[in-house]
Structure 1
Amino acid sequence: MSKSEMIVQAPGISLGQRRKGRLAELLKTLWSYRVSYLFIAPFMICFILFILLPVIAAVVLSFTHYNSIEPPRFVGWDNFRYMLTQDLILMKHALPNTLTFALIVGPGGYVCAFLLAWLISILPAVFRKWFTLAMYTPSLASLVAMSIIWTPLFSSDRIGYLNHFLLNLNLISEPVPWVTSKDHLMTSMVVVTLWKSMGIGFLGMLAGLLNVNPEMYEAGKLDGIRSRLEEIWYITIPATKPQMLFGAVMAVVGAVQISEIGTVLSGMNPTPEYAAHMITTHTDDYAFTRFELGYATALTVCLLTIVYLAQKLCWKLFGTKEDE
């Protein structure tokens, strides 16, 4: 029986004395692990200052009217009520565009990252680093650098590289407005984002694939595995679940948070007929143009909820179970 249980069960001790005994026992336990707390202190301080406190502040401000000049004024659920019933641009354009874009780019970029990582992992080591560098470098490019590459390619006139190529092949009869038309802007955004999506999640999956024990593949062949596809399904994916989970979370978060790519490609803000208007773009509009910071933080809380639900789905798919 522990000392704290003896204190609780001892007869004739008042409730105040029991609480003091529990507190003393807790402080003694905390003090015994003081060295461990020193090791985690840098991470905890950064987590509290730069993640926990901003999230709490955003949740609190989402229930206020705040314009950065006057003190915040509590308005209850008015921001969320306005979001659901009166913000037509959000419901008609920003939310559907964000979900559509995330559902295409998130899984699409994730599958492409895994396939490319697997193809690179089976290459000889002398070529592997160069292909990895070629795939990873686009993720480091800024939006300005991207515009230098993609704007001439998607130019809507005849001298645009893509239109010129398709016209010469007689695949189209007139130039296609790739980034100035509502019907084509989302497609152009998806292509550019997939090109840029081989980031840190791609490197994580490649590292996981390179560290799979080769003996597992030999054992699989003895157990009846006869094709590369069966190796991937029965050995590679189960052996790299932590990296697969990390890559999935990074892909979903990156797809949901992207905002300025449509504005950069089209050169318009807002984009043509709100074709590339996202929740993050909508948030920037209310925060930095209209200075309605209370409503803008309510939008960020909504986006945070979407990302959290997507992360829970990724954990369900790739999280390690207790028996694994």
Structure 2
Amino acid sequence: MQSETTSQPVPSFIPANAGRQSKLAMKWKEIKRNKHYYLLMSPYMLIFFTFTVIPVLFSLILSFFYFNMLEFPRFVGLQNYSRLLLNDDIFMIALKNTLLFAIITGPISYIACFLFAWIINELSPKVRAFMTLVFYAPSIAGNVFFIWLIIFSGDSYGYLNGFLIKYGFKLEPTQWLTNEKYILAIVIIVQLWLSLGTSFLAFIAGLQTIDKSLVEAGAMDGIKNRWQELWYITLPSMRPQLMFGAVMQITASFAVADVSIALAGFPSVNYAAHTVVTHLMDYGTIRFEMGYASAIATFLFFMMIGANILTQKLLRKVGE
């Protein structure tokens, strides 16, 4: 007599959030395993959240309020944004100038930073260190605007006016920094001169870390010249530095203010060199309309985020 055993499936009851709990458990184990790294990062993260994340969130919330530093904040909804985009003609001028700055100075300074870093990297170590200092020095110089104020001085003692008058190009000096036809172009030129900063150093460092064996392997695989080596080996190997440099250049191009104030004044003639940041400073530090200033800051913040997202998409195609 044979006995037949029938196996029936055992009902299993899996909670709907079991997958989420398992992921959280794995994440918690990973945090415990790397707790020393998080402990070392904690001082920076504390400072970053205290002085960057929290003020940004507070500014975003305050942009929906009317607040003049004297009265209690009053909720106004989207009124600050509607005023900014529909009724503020000066902001439209500042926005146009800022976009022009970003479109011109952003890509040009980014490419210039990389090209100069690429050329200097080919030099001997001592010459490379000296040239790096020479190119980086203008971005950290304290009185750098004083030089340009002398060059573009409105009298005949200004270097540019003196040169043009001496060689017969002009009969009388031009007021470069009070003529709205020239102000914006001058500020763009000075900003480009100052743009070889942190991104330039990051590119130098990235070029120093490229594995030389990749170049040898590329030569065996059919790479025939330096331009192909640049596109298929150098740039893909430097994606972290390229991304960091892009973020720094985008931030610098959208946040132009010091150059404009130092050269053209605050405000500039007919707002010819007015930017979003100088407009923000006007309402935040002079008029104390903190709700409206927060709306301007929030608008600029999302402009920068959009530019960064676009740049990330373009950098992903490098080497393809």
Tell me the TM-score normalised to structure 2 length: 0.86
Q: 1:25 to 1:85 in 2, by over 3 A?
A: closer
User: Could you report, residue by residue, the CA deviation over 1:40-76 in whole angstroms, capped at 9, with x for unpaired residues?
Assistant: 4334322321222111100110000001111111110
2:143 counterpart of 1:165: no
2:294 counterpart of 1:294: no
Structure 1 SS opposite 2:42: helix
Runs of 4+ with deviation above 4 angstroms: 22-29
Moved more, 159-168 or 27-36: 27-36
Corresponding position of 2:242: 244
- The answer (yes or no) to whether the contact 1:241–1:320 under 8 Å persists in 2 is no
Corresponding position of 2:13: 9
Q: 1:309 to 1:26 in 2, by over 3 A?
A: closer
Q: 1:178 to 1:229 in 2, by over 3 A?
A: farther
- The answer (yes or no) to whether the contact 1:63–1:79 under 8 Å persists in 2 is yes
Corresponding position of 1:108: 108
Corresponding position of 2:137: 137
Q: CA deviation at 1:296?
A: 0.3
Corresponding position of 1:3: none
Q: CA deviation at 1:262?
A: 1.6
- The answer (yes or no) to whether the contact 1:242–1:320 under 8 Å persists in 2 is no
Whole-angstrom distance in 2 between the partners of 1:181 and 1:57: 39
2:302 counterpart of 1:308: no
Q: CA deviation at 1:288?
A: 1.4
Moved more, 205-214 or 44-53: 44-53
Whole-angstrom distance in 2 between the partners of 1:134 and 1:309: 33
Q: CA deviation at 1:212?
A: 1.6
Matches within 5 A, 1:92-131: 93-131=93-131
Whole-angstrom distance in 2 between the partners of 1:291 and 1:39: 39
Gaps of 5+ in 1: 1-7
Moved more, 195-204 or 255-264: 255-264
Q: 1:211 to 1:183 in 2, by over 3 A?
A: same
Moved more, 154-163 or 288-297: 154-163
Whole-angstrom distance in 2 between the partners of 1:258 and 1:127: 32
Moved more, 213-222 or 195-204: 213-222
Q: CA deviation at 1:216?
A: 2.5
Q: 1:31 to 1:110 in 2, by over 3 A?
A: closer
Q: CA deviation at 1:295?
A: 0.2
Whole-angstrom distance in 2 between the partners of 1:29 and 1:182: 58
Structure 1 SS opposite 2:100: helix
What is the identity, as a one-letter code, of the residue corresponding to 2:253?
Answer: A
Q: 1:24 to 1:158 in 2, by over 3 A?
A: closer
**Identical aligned residues as a percent:** 39
Q: CA deviation at 1:289?
A: 1.3
User: Could you report, residue by residue, the CA deviation over 1:159-182 in whole angstroms, capped at 9, with x for unpaired residues?
Assistant: 111222233333444433322111
Structure 2 SS opposite 1:158: coil
- The answer (yes or no) to whether the contact 1:242–1:319 under 8 Å persists in 2 is no
Q: 1:100 to 1:29 in 2, by over 3 A?
A: closer
Whole-angstrom distance in 2 between the partners of 1:313 and 1:32: 32
Structure 2 SS opposite 1:149: helix
Whole-angstrom distance in 1 between the partners of 2:277 and 2:59: 15
Matches within 5 A, 1:60-79: 60-79=61-80
Whole-angstrom distance in 2 between the partners of 1:110 and 1:231: 20
Corresponding position of 2:282: 285
What is the identity, as a one-letter code, of the residue corresponding to 2:304?
Answer: V
What is the identity, as a one-letter code, of the residue corresponding to 1:307?
Answer: M
Corresponding position of 1:206: 204
Tell me the TM-score normalised to structure 1 length: 0.85
Structure 1 SS opposite 2:266: coil
Count of aligned pairs between the two proteins: 305
Q: 1:57 to 1:126 in 2, by over 3 A?
A: same
